[in-house]
Amino acid sequence: VSGYVVEVRRTKGADGQTRAVEPGATVTTGLVLARVRASDYQAVVDKAQGSRGESTAGIKAAEAALAEARAGSTQADADFGRIATL
Q: pLDDT tens for residues 14-69?
A: 577 766 666 676 777 877 666 666 676 788 888 999 999 999 999 999 999 999 99
Range of the domain at 11: 3-84
> What is the C-alpha to C-alpha distance for residues 54 and 43, in angstroms, rounded to an integer?
16
- Domain count along the chain: 1
Q: pLDDT band for 77, please (50, 70, 90 cuts).
A: very high
What's this model's pTM, rounded to 2 decimal places?
0.47
